Structure 1
Amino acid sequence: MYGTMQEVPLTITAIMRHGCGIHGLRTVTTATGDGYRHSSYREVGHQAAQLAHALRRLGIAGDERVATFMWNNTEHLTAYLAVPSMGAVLHTLNIRLMPEQIAYVANEAEDRVVLLDLSLAGLLAPVLASLDTVHTVIAVGEGDTTPLEESGKAVLRYAEVIDGESTEFDWPDIDENTAAAMCYTSGTTGNPKGVVYSHRSSYLHTMVTCTANGIGVGAADRVLPIVPMFHANAWGLPYAALMAGADLVLPDRHLDARSLIHMVENLRPTLAGAVPTIWNDVMHHLEKDPGHDVSSLRLVACGGSAVPESLMRTFEDKHHVQIRQLWGMTETSPLATMAWPPPGTPDDQHWAYRVTQGQPVCGVEARIVDDDGHVLPNDGKAVGEVEVRGPWITGSYYRGRDESKFDSGWLRTGDVGRVDERGFITLTDRAKDVIKSGGEWISSVELENRLIAHPDVVEAAVVGVPDERWQERPLAVVVVEEGATVEANDLRTFLADKVVRWWLPERWTFVTEIPRTSVGKYDKKTIRSRYADGDYRVIDERS
């Protein structure tokens, strides 16, 4: 027996029609640096049709890849809608990759056309000639295109390309299982790997993002996606806003704390998403320049790395803003878990749930396995590698890269942690970053979170370094507040009653900046390399 329901494809086109039709009067606001520009969803839908016509004229007739090299702005949102809905594949190029990595991913994806924000021309121009399959660059915004033209590629102006095109487009019927978009991992080890999102996976991911147990995007919201649209579809927030009929606020390149606070105060977004680094910067700016009101934010979704409890408590206690931790990765579209404490949780247990990565959202299954692949119990004690599966979890990489990441239908995430009986996941490390000292595990994540709770510590990263006696010991790399006087022994004393004694680092280095990856995470590979090369002035408390 089969159901009697209509078979309607789950596609980006459906999200676009709903958002730009039913919610056509809702607004998209883009920051310009000296103000804001506004469009309605209906106008964005018209512009998407114009862009689709222009891309057809440029030879995009099937599932060819159309790349973007852009900030979060209205034109990028237009491409988010036009490219998948016309049957092509949107490839969001990460502007923070190394030049050789940009060339690698563009060539592997076989990009044909690149939409380029001209403020980023200096990053793309040096490698443009080596993008073998790209024949046209569509330049968005104001600026000189001469360096781009020297590559031998055709360079067209966005405004001129869409000018005069029809605001109606005969959007094709699309198989929901075909590719809608692709995004590459950050490539911290080896070349980046491609993840291809289908229309179906993107639609289902958007739906769960809108649920109360997800990020809870609704029609009453105004959404500020600070997380880049070139990284895992900005955590699905642009599509979720369209599906829910929420307004969008897009920060463009204006990602410094002062600019973001100005956006919150003047545009009053209710929901935002960004990595902890951004909110840490905002917190410190608010401390130095008090009197600002950011309380319009009812929820901040925060992930990409562990969110310190001290950061969440500060925003909640001082600014009436709730930061909720989520977890995911490019391979999971990215939303996989959210840290919503169970209803009725006693006050003394509330924060124990808040500091976890949360429970899997409906549609995602998670488990932990040991080094031999045996499934471990969800008892909150056993520690293993987290594996996940679900309809928006990738089952392979583009062109079959790195098959070792997949385990009989499960994605091996590379994250290590434990799972309790309610399914709450607590990550203790990346598999490549775990510290094994004298045969016992030390959580670098917990040490980092404890250190950053010190009032004079701005950032802290912890890595394992070789030790003659214990095999590995933690090295703490610390950034302190300007003008503060903090010594290694002060921080050891601060940690003494917060972690077990043998976790306390003996090696410390104080720096002005911690190296980061292209997606804003601590670059622990670089930290270990700098330590090995003697680039850090290390204070050794063993002596």
Structure 2
Amino acid sequence: MTMHYPLLVSNILNRARTAFADKEIITRTEDGTHRYTYKDMGARVNRLANALSALGVKKGDRVGTFGWNTYRHLEAYFASPIMGAVNHTINIRLFPDDLVYIINHAEDKVVLVDPDLVPILEPLAPQMESVEHFIIMSDDPEPATTLPGALCYETLLAQASDEFTQPEMDEYDPAGLCYTSATTGRPKGVTYTHRALYLHSMAECMADTSAFSERDTTMAMVPMFHANCWGFPYSSTMVGANQVMPGVRPDPQAICELFEEHKVTLTAGVPTIWVGVLDYLDRSGKTYDFSSLRAVISGGSAVPVSVIRAYKEKLGVDLVHAYGMTEATPIVTYNRVKTHLEGLPEDEKYELAGSQGLVVAGLEMRLVDENGEDLPWDGEQRGELLFRGPWVAREYYNDERTAETYIDGWYHSGDIASVNPDGYIQIGDRVKDMVKSGGEWISSVDLETAIIAHPDVLEAAVIAIPHPTWVERPLACVVPREDARDSLDRAQVMDFIRDKFARWWLPDDVVFIDEIPKTSVGKFDKKVLRDRYQDYVVGG
């Protein structure tokens, strides 16, 4: 028998503030740079916990955060959990109706908000039924705002003690809450227990996953409001890595400058960020020293092999595919090349790098057909991915839609994929994004990946449009690179992909647009495109 020792978020913080007291958290600010140590952070986390307690926050209460990736947001990541409350990260890019919905649904008692985001909440505040206090994350003692009873973050901390006594807690107590980004219907809440966050961090730190280490300087480009910032705040703190916070509205130039200045070793974000960085470098002609980067992690949607190749061949950087979801804290897979595959021809290795990789140790996976029967891992047959494990949620927070997704102990992802004999996952599509033409499935992702490889294409999204004979047919929506906006045409795109697919897979048409609509977390928002082109007539 082993000791009864609960796995708590506070254990992560305590290790960093003692074993790695002098390691740094560096934040890009409007005035320059803010730097402090884990020792400093630990004391301020205690002050914040005491301040929240003084405001009436109790065990189980939800504390909302509405902010960018900064050191203050990092403090909130730890303060609520160590006092038994729940850190609810609120998506700053949601529509007003969804913001009001999730704050009311979560019953947030306090909301911490960055100064430049205050104008978003001010007109919505009267509709927020549970919020008793708004805390503005600045050092302005008298913030100019109409938010009722607004308080200054730094004033509250200055008045609080840096000694905090943690209440008795269980590892299955809730510590975090995040809502899905609402591509269909209302956002759904996912609760994270202390145990889930702790085990997820350990899994991320494994050598065959992201391999977080004290030697690293990490910088998460994924927003802190999105799925625990993909675990970066907790995993980085667990191992005592230096952390770089990109701050308010980082653009590609700021990202490149931060990589170079702080010698970042590990970063993560959605593909649109990494495509944007490449585009900026191409357009500006500037060069930066990226030699410190051991990996750029990309997730959220499929990243084209052409982008992976460009990062390696142009920048000397490994762009690594990972895959996860809000419901899984979020990491599920990570792409590592097995030793017996290292001798593959270069093109085949790039194709392998374009897959979502292997399931992380600790999780289980199934591939099933529409009847729930298991499919073989032969790299050919496609089915839905199902998952379960210690950091996969078992339900949505107070939501009857749980029954649609969590069935017989398995999370049904809605992602259609194949799995090869080595266990590498190749996601074809979300169920709702597949094109069903004449009773046969066409993968929009496969078509997009091929189109984006064209040197004059910046972005591409493929959607289904109605067809009188075939029910649905694919339509390619293409964003040309700036210097090709007047020259790229339909024939060039079609000729580029013609030999890569069966004739009936090819899009019926290509439309050129200024940008692909994005969801609040940077993924392509295909429902907007489907609405826009629902009456589209080829050649009309």
- Given the two structures, how large is their TM-score scaled by the length of structure 1? 0.96
Residue aligned with 1:497, SS: helix
d(CA) in 2 for partners of 1:112 and 1:531? 42
2:23 is aligned with 1:14: no
d(CA) in 2 for partners of 1:479 and 1:410? 38
d(CA) in 2 for partners of 1:148 and 1:13? 35
Q: Which residue of 1 aligns with 2:295?
A: 299
1:196-232 per-position Cα deviation (integer Å, ceiling 9, x unaligned): 0000000000000111121111111000001011000
Q: Which residue of 1 aligns with 2:214?
A: 219
2:522 is aligned with 1:526: no
d(CA) in 1 for partners of 2:462 and 2:139? 43
d(CA) in 1 for partners of 2:330 and 2:30? 29
**Which residue of the other structure, out of 34, 38, 43, is the alignment partner of 1:37?**
34
> 1:488 touches 1:539 (CA, 8 Å); kept in 2?
no
**Which residue of the other structure, out of 124, 128, 132, is the alignment partner of 1:131?**
128
1:87-109 per-position Cα deviation (integer Å, ceiling 9, x unaligned): 10110011111111011111111
Q: Which residue of 2 aligns with 1:273?
A: 268
d(CA) in 2 for partners of 1:467 and 1:539? 10
1:498-521 per-position Cα deviation (integer Å, ceiling 9, x unaligned): 222221112211111111111111
Instruction: Judge which range, 434-443 or 447-456, deviates more.
Output: 434-443
Offset, 1:539:
6.3
> 2:81 touches 2:87 (CA, 8 Å); kept in 1?
yes
Q: Which residue of 2 aligns with 1:516?
A: 518
Amino acid at match of 1:23: F
Q: Which residue of 1 aligns with 2:431?
A: 431
2:417 is aligned with 1:417: yes
Residue aligned with 1:90, SS: strand
Alignment of 1:440-459 (within 5 A): 440-459=440-459
Amino acid at match of 1:327: Y
Amino acid at match of 1:99: P
Q: Which residue of 2 aligns with 1:505?
A: 507
**Which residue of the other structure, out of 250, 254, 263, is the alignment partner of 2:258?**
263
Residue aligned with 1:62, SS: coil
Q: Which residue of 2 aligns with 1:110?
A: 107
Q: Which residue of 1 aligns with 2:333?
A: 337
Residue aligned with 1:264, SS: helix
Residue aligned with 1:129, SS: helix
Alignment of 1:229-248 (within 5 A): 229-248=224-243
Offset, 1:255:
2.1
d(CA) in 2 for partners of 1:32 and 1:498? 47
Unpaired segments ≥5 residues, structure 1: none
d(CA) in 2 for partners of 1:533 and 1:13? 55
Amino acid at match of 2:309: R
> 2:178 touches 2:190 (CA, 8 Å); kept in 1?
yes
**Which residue of the other structure, out of 154, 161, 169, is the alignment partner of 1:166?**
161
Q: Which residue of 1 aligns with 2:44?
A: 47
d(CA) in 2 for partners of 1:359 and 1:112? 40
1:265-320 per-position Cα deviation (integer Å, ceiling 9, x unaligned): 11110000000000001011111223222222110111000011111111111111
Residue aligned with 1:255, SS: coil
2:344 is aligned with 1:347: yes
Residue aligned with 2:181, SS: coil
Offset, 1:401:
2.8
d(CA) in 1 for partners of 2:379 and 2:287? 42
Offset, 1:423:
1.8
d(CA) in 1 for partners of 2:322 and 2:400? 27
1:407-461 per-position Cα deviation (integer Å, ceiling 9, x unaligned): 2000011111111222211110101111111222111101111111111100000
> 1:68 touches 1:92 (CA, 8 Å); kept in 2?
yes
1:37-81 per-position Cα deviation (integer Å, ceiling 9, x unaligned): 101011011000000110011001221100000101000000111
With over 3 angstroms needed to count, the CA separation of the structure-2 counterparts of 1:34 and 1:449, relative to structure 1, is farther
Amino acid at match of 2:222: V
Alignment of 1:281-292 (within 5 A): 281-288=276-283, 289-292=285-288
d(CA) in 2 for partners of 1:27 and 1:67? 25
Q: Which residue of 2 aligns with 1:202?
A: 197
What is the root-mean-square deviation in Å for CA atoms of aligned residues?
1.4
> 1:31 touches 1:254 (CA, 8 Å); kept in 2?
no
> 1:367 touches 1:419 (CA, 8 Å); kept in 2?
no
d(CA) in 1 for partners of 2:144 and 2:34? 27
2:306 is aligned with 1:310: yes
Residue aligned with 1:496, SS: helix
Amino acid at match of 1:410: W
Instruction: Judge which range, 344-353 or 59-68, deviates more.
Output: 344-353
2:97 is aligned with 1:95: no
> 1:509 touches 1:539 (CA, 8 Å); kept in 2?
no
Identity %: 42
Offset, 1:9:
0.8
1:2-36 per-position Cα deviation (integer Å, ceiling 9, x unaligned): x2x22211010100101122111110000014521
d(CA) in 2 for partners of 1:352 and 1:452? 15
Residue aligned with 2:104, SS: helix
d(CA) in 1 for partners of 2:139 and 2:191? 32
1:365-409 per-position Cα deviation (integer Å, ceiling 9, x unaligned): 111111122221222111111111111011110114311111200
**Which residue of the other structure, out of 316, 322, 342, is the alignment partner of 1:326?**
322
d(CA) in 2 for partners of 1:494 and 1:198? 48
Alignment: residue pair count: 532
> 1:28 touches 1:247 (CA, 8 Å); kept in 2?
yes
Q: Which residue of 2 aligns with 1:148?
A: 146
Offset, 1:146:
4.1
- Given the two structures, how large is their TM-score scaled by the length of structure 2? 0.96
> 2:25 touches 2:35 (CA, 8 Å); kept in 1?
yes
d(CA) in 2 for partners of 1:303 and 1:439? 30
Residue aligned with 2:376, SS: coil
